[in-house]
Structure 1
Amino acid sequence: MTEPYDAIILGAGAAGLMGAARAGQRGKRVLVLEKSEKPGKKILISGGGRCNFTNIHAGPANYISANPHFAKSALARYTPRDFLELVEGYGIAWHEKTLGQLFCDGSAQQITDMLLAECAQGAVEVRCNADVTAVEHDAGRFAVMASGQPIIATSLVIATGGPSIPKMGATGYAYELARQFGLKVVEPRPALVPLTLGGEEVLFREISGVSAPVIATANKTSFAEAALFTHRGLSGPAILQVSSYWRPGDPVEIDFLPDGGEGWLLEKKRENPRATLKSLLREALPDRLADILVEKIGLETELGNAPDKALRAAEQRLSRWSFHPNGSEGFAKAEVTMGGISTAELSSKTMESKRIPGLYAIGEAVDVTGWLGGYNFQWAWASGVAAGDAL
């Protein structure tokens, strides 16, 4: 049997490669096992192929977890600026989009190549097409059966992610392993996912492809970004964001005119009594969306002929339009997974299991979920570094 590794890392995604690189460069003998044919598959499709690799505003408030304090330690010790320095050290050109989102000018492949180069510096072995069929723990060592070969290590890192985007090979294997070792799992569910509409709201599917800047709210959490109507319901950044806070049965409220201000419709009536609600909405929103909103409100007359009470009601409805999603598009379309291995089981400083010495969990496998816009990559880097520095 070969000499035991210091650590076996399951999963060559963002967190796994980052953790491997850090541990390898500290002189640890590290093996990364990846079941796919190449590392970093989710990195490569992220950000439209340009990888939204971090967000300069990333902080604990941008993450959802059963323990909102858990992510503080790792995020404080490895910041967006730290990762940006790494990116710039490799000469990777980048640009900032809206709301602090950082992207490669070129290809997401540059980020994967950078991580693999970092792993190579630490003599990390990355083995793809590795079919892990069993993991055992005995006498302070982990035995992993991969492609029919037993491999021994003193530490094991679960970095296999969650079940979002199954077409990329994503599974819930992290949770199987956690349960095997007696670790609690917070029920996983799709996050950053489009929501579906049914009933009378199916009418909105007729404007599939139409988008508008709005404020979307679910469970008192609001995001000011674009909403997109689809052939199945609601999507776009604002909807993906609130989907992480939405629960089945809850409404999603949309303010279609966030710049309108209170009393704007009565003011328009005084300024131009011959104007109609439709003409005003068409100035602010795409025509098809304006038309369907007016049809739903039922206010077709000129403003001068409309009672103030009706205008106030229309204004209020436009600022708090209540949709009632009947579900989401599930893990197939979810960008990430909420829930996962309970943070109560892990050290926030090292990501190591409190009950199984040498067992670690990082990245999306853990019950820490970021907002849309580079936050989940920052958690991958930060949690990977926390474990890599502790191995």
Structure 2
Amino acid sequence: MQTWDVVIIGAGAAGLMCAAQAGYRGRRVLLLDNAKQAGRKILISGGGRCNFTNTHAQPDAYICHNSHFVKSALSRFSAHDFIELVERHGLNYHEKTLGQLFCDESAKDLLEILMTELSWSGANLQLRTEVLKVIRTDTGFLIQTSAGELQCLSLVVATGGLSMPKLGATPLGLQLAEQFGLHVYPTRAGLVPFTLHAEDKVRFAQISGVSVACEVHSLSGMRFRESLLFTHRGLSGPAILQISSFWQAGEPVWINLLPDVKAGDWLQTLSRDRPRVSLRKLLSEKLPKRFVDIWLETDIADTAIGQLPLKRREQLAEQLNHWELKPNGTEGYRTAEVTLGGVDTDELSSKTMECKNIPGLYFIGEVVDVTGWLGGYNFQWAWSSGWAAGQVV
């Protein structure tokens, strides 16, 4: 039976970082994964260019039942620390928007860097290996796998969440946490497109592919100003993915279609200065024409702004700045970028990611109840939490 200092389950972003860090400390490390390739989520993220971090990755960009938990790891291994690491390897990258950093060419370049770090550290990688059972022993842990039994002093669970099951996502990490008596928060899909009720779905499917710059907010009070995208099934785009993590089933969301304009004042000015111009034409000057044709009520679309009754003008202004839409649900884990919920951070040390009541057992990355905003924040949590555990396992 093979014996290791550290066994890490899950060769994603967090697991790769942790394995390399532990290996550099001279630990005998084995990184396990059931997939045929490491870092599969890295390869497909960001349209194949991987939004690998965000220069604004601060604690307030993370959803966690304990808002202070992420502070230690993020401060000790920050976005700038990860940038320095990839720059040492010569990665070409660029900032797209809002601090989001992407590989210039391909996510393969980033994965190659992580695999190089893994190799240099002396850590071992074993793929196509399914973990069947984990048993705590007097000296650590016994792991039964599809390739035989292993023993280790420290066990790190880096299995990720439930999102994108086609990439091999499983509930193993959450099951292990529950097996060892840890509290686990209920999980749900995050950073995920909305589906619409039948009437709205039929209406807006006609403009699938149309994007609208806007500000979206939810009952939680969170607001995101980016673009939304109409799809055949409902709504997507950065603004929708962001707000989805703060949305609860049955709630509406509100969309400000003209976030830089007080619609009431604007319409009043138009009714005075351009009274003969139709609403359809005026709105199409600020919003995509195909969207206006579907969104604007047909009985007023071709009405001249100067002929629109004051009450209807006020109603239109309210809709432009505060359009209420009630999603039917989300597309679920199939297309979700992350999983909300997971292992309760109160069970873990914020400095090391070690279970407070089970020495030698660690949880890192997405399996933990930490979810970042869209835009590289979740990868940064993977790097930071993986680094933190890698310093001590």
For Structure 1 versus Structure 2, the TM-score category normalised by the shorter chain is: over 0.9
Whole-angstrom distance in 1 between the partners of 2:72 and 2:388: 9
List per-residue Cα deviations over 1:244-302 (Å, max 9, x = no partner): 00000111111111122251111111110011221111111111111122127845421
Q: Any conservation in 2 of the 1:266–1:312 contact (CA below 8 Å)? A: no
Asked if the contact 1:201/1:323 (under 8 Å) is kept, the reply is no
Q: Counterpart of 1:126?
A: 125
Q: Give the partner amino acid of 1:16.
A: G
Which deviates further from its counterpart, 192-201 or 247-256?
A: 192-201
Q: Which amino acid is 2:326 matched to? A: H
Please tell me whether the aligned partners of residues 57 and 79 of structure 2 are also in contact (alpha carbons under 8 angstroms): yes
Corresponding pairs, count: 390
Show structure 1 runs of 4+ deviating over 6 A.
none
Per-residue CA shift, 1:303-356, capped at 9, x if unaligned? 111122321221111111111011100000101101011111111110000111
2: CA distance, partners of 1:19 / 1:280: 56
Q: Using a 3 Å threshold, how does the CA distance of structure 1 residues 26 and 249 change in structure 2: closer, same or farther?
A: same
TM-score w.r.t. the length of structure 2 is 0.97
Counterpart amino acid of 1:237?
P
Are the aligned partners of 2:32 and 2:129 in contact in 1 as well (CA < 8 Å)?
Answer: yes
Asked if the contact 2:54–2:376 (Cα under 8 Å) also holds between the matched residues in 1, the reply is yes
**Offset from partner CA, 1:199-247 (integer Å, 9 cap, x none):** 4322122211111111111121111111011111110010000000000
Paired residues of 2:279 and 2:300 also in contact (CA < 8 A): no
- Residue 286 of structure 1 is matched in structure 2 by 288
Say what the alpha-carbon RMSD is for the aligned residues: 1.2
Cα distance in structure 1, aligned partners of 2:102 and 2:286: 30
The residue aligned with 1:75 is 74
Structure-2 change in CA distance of 1:350 and 1:297 (3 Å): farther
How far is 1:6 from its partner?
A: 1.1
Counterpart secondary structure, 2:327: coil
Which residue of structure 2 aligns with residue 330 of structure 1? Answer: 332
Q: 2:319 matched to 1:320?
A: no
1:212 aligns with 2:212: yes
**Is 1:257–2:258 an aligned residue pair?**
yes
Whole-angstrom CA distance in 2 between matches of 1:332 and 1:357: 35
The 5 A counterparts of 1:1-391 are 1-2=1-2, 4-202=3-201, 203-218=203-218, 219-262=220-263, 263-295=265-297, 298=300, 300-391=302-393
How many angstroms apart in 2 are the aligned matches of 1:208 and 1:47?
A: 21
Give structure 1 stretches of 5+ with no counterpart: none
Q: Is the 8 A contact 1:294 1:300 kept in 2?
A: no
DSSP 3-state at the match of 1:31 = strand
Gap runs ≥5 in structure 2: none
Paired AA for residue 214 in structure 2: V
2:389 & 2:192 partners in 1: Cα distance?
29
Aligned-pair CA distance for 1:372 = 0.6
Q: What do residues 143-163 of structure 1 show as CA deviations (whole Å, max 9, x unaligned)?
A: 111224111000000000011
Secondary structure (helix, strand or coil) at the match of 2:339 reads: strand
Distance 1:296 1:338, change over 3 A: farther
**What SS is found at the alignment partner of 2:5?**
strand
TM-score when scaled to structure 1?
0.98
C-alpha separation in 1, matches of 2:13 and 2:45: 11
**CA contact under 8 A between 2:48 and 2:107: conserved in structure 1?**
yes
1:115: Cα distance to partner? 1.0
Indicate if the aligned counterparts of 2:262 and 2:321 stay in contact, CA closer than 8 A. no
- Equivalent pair of 1:160/1:174 in contact (CA under 8 Å): yes
Amino acid at match of 1:94: Y
Q: Which amino acid aligns with 1:309?
A: K
Summarize deviations over 1:76-105 as a string: whole Å, max 9, x none: 111111000001000011100011100111
Contact 2:19 2:390 in 1 (8 A): yes
| Percentage of identical aligned residues | 53
User: Is the Cα–Cα contact under 8 Å of residues 163 and 337 in structure 1 kept in the other structure?
Assistant: yes
